[in-house]
Each structure stands twice: as C-alpha cells, then as structure tokens.
Amino acid sequence: MAALQNSMPSLHHTLFINSSPQKGSQKLSLGAFLCCKTSVSLRVHLSSSATAAASSSSHFQESCGRRQIIAAGITAPLVSIVDRTPTAFAAETKKGFLPVTDKKDGYTFLYPFGWQEVVIEGQDKVFKDVIEPLESVSVNLIPTNKEDIRDFGSPQEVADTLIKKVLAPPTQKTKLIQAAEHDEDGKAYYTFEFITRAPNYTRHALTAVSIGNGKFYALTTGANERRWDKMKDRLMTVVDSFKIFNV
C-alpha cells in the first residue's frame, strides 16, 4: 500500500473531479464518437436519424426524447465514416452502447449512447450525459512499476485509499459499499461500489482498476443517487466492459 500512497498526489490531481458535476470543455468534433483512435459502428442509429430528418421535424421531436434528439445531432456527421468499422469489433457492442478502444494506451470499454465526450485536463477520456452531468465515465492512467494490481493490497485496501484520497474531495463524505476481485484473460481487476456525499448532491459510483503496459488504469462511472435505480444496470455494463490489452 505504500506504493499506492506515494502515487496519491498524481492520482488525486487527475481523478477527484469524478465526484463533482463539472461539465468540462465540451468537444463536439468527430472525436466525440470516434473515441480518438477507433471509428464506431453507428449504422443503425444513423439510418434512423437520417430517416427522421427526412420526415417533418415536429414528428421527430414527438417520437424522440430530448436525449435522442441531441445525440442524433451529434452523430449525424459520422455517416461518411461508418463503413470503416470492422464487423468483428462492431459485434462486441451492446444495444444502447457505443465502444471505445484506445489502441495506443491499450484499453476498451462501452458507454451509453447519447453521452458525449468532454475534455477535462488530466483525464485520458471522459464521456458525460448531456442532461445529467453526474452521469459519466472517465478513464485515467498513471505510470507504475508494479505489474499486478494485487501488489497494492487487497480490493478493500485499494478501494478505501482511492475513495478517500482520490475519488472524492476531502470535503465530501464517502462510503464503500463493496469491493471485489476478478480475473479476465489472466489479468487481475479490482471493482468497487461507493457513495460520495456533497452538500447539494449524492453520487453513487463504480470503479474498476487494473495494471498493464506499465500503467495504473482506473475507470469510474456513476450517477446521482436519486437516479441510481434507473441507471445501475447501464453503469454496471460500463464497468464490466472495461478491459486492458497489451500494446
């Protein structure tokens, strides 16, 4: 745990923002759904968007919620690039989710359709809901000389350290609900569920951490506590989809 404690200043600088509803600088370029390195299969969504655009705008707004309207506007410019998506990779997606694969840093995950990419200094990737800013997912990386997440301690120890010193500002109250370990393709991952309480909101969150490619990886996703029951299945899909691969 000493090694993890020594990493706290760098981790805290990049990760604590996950517990606040800051919006960051919105990035509405193609990178929002190309995920910086890999194009995404949006054929089904784009076809429906194009059909809706050809019909009357009033019918479109009546048949779609506010999130779908915004998401359709963001994805419309991607029509010309969907054919570049490998079929095998597209098959890995789930209905209602879009994939991110970072071939440079060696990780992949899914995020809910309709979330958009935002730029927050110090974080490798961030996607947020366009209406509910506490609904987000972020990935952060820091160099490490460790080769296994278990070298930092047990799931409970790592979760306690990260939550109290990194994932929440010191002014917030925190509660660890559960922490667990699982292996994926021979690599160990820790996942944990926790709550952070600020004066004006409570956030329910999930985090997955692992080590590979000389980096400490942390993915965190969450939502306002009042929306947890509605969002938990989608957020669990996000955290369960997080995988690291060798680069």
Domain count within the chain = 1
The token pair that represents 170 in the structure block: 């010191």
Average pLDDT over residues 172-176: 97
The pLDDT of residue 136: 98
The pLDDT of residue 88: 39
Residues 139, 101: Cα–Cα separation, whole Å: 12
**Does residue 173 sit within a domain?**
yes
Nearest to 218 by CA among 162, 169, 176: 162
The pLDDT of residue 177: 98
The pLDDT of residue 5: 57
**Does residue 66 sit within a domain?**
no
Tell me the CATH number at 132. Answer: 3.40.1000.10
Res 169 pLDDT > 60: yes
Domain range spanning residue 181? 2-26+95-244
**Does residue 53 sit within a domain?**
no
The pLDDT of residue 168: 93
Residues 210, 137: Cα–Cα separation, whole Å: 16
The token pair that represents 34 in the structure block: 């190309």
The label of the residue with tokens 């419309």 reads 76
At residue 92 the predicted structure's pLDDT band, cuts being 50, 70 and 90, is low
Question: What's this model's pTM, rounded to 2 decimal places?
Answer: 0.69
Determine what percent of the chain is predicted with pLDDT higher than 70: 63
Question: Residues 6 or more apart from 37 whose CB is under 8 A from it?
Answer: 101, 102, 103, 104
At residue 93 the predicted structure's pLDDT band, cuts being 50, 70 and 90, is confident
Taking only the tens place, the pLDDT of each residue in 3-30 is: 565 555 445 444 444 445 554 443 332 2
Res 129 pLDDT > 90: yes
**Does residue 216 sit within a domain?**
yes
Average pLDDT over the chain, rounded to an integer: 76
The pLDDT of residue 62: 44
**Does residue 239 sit within a domain?**
yes
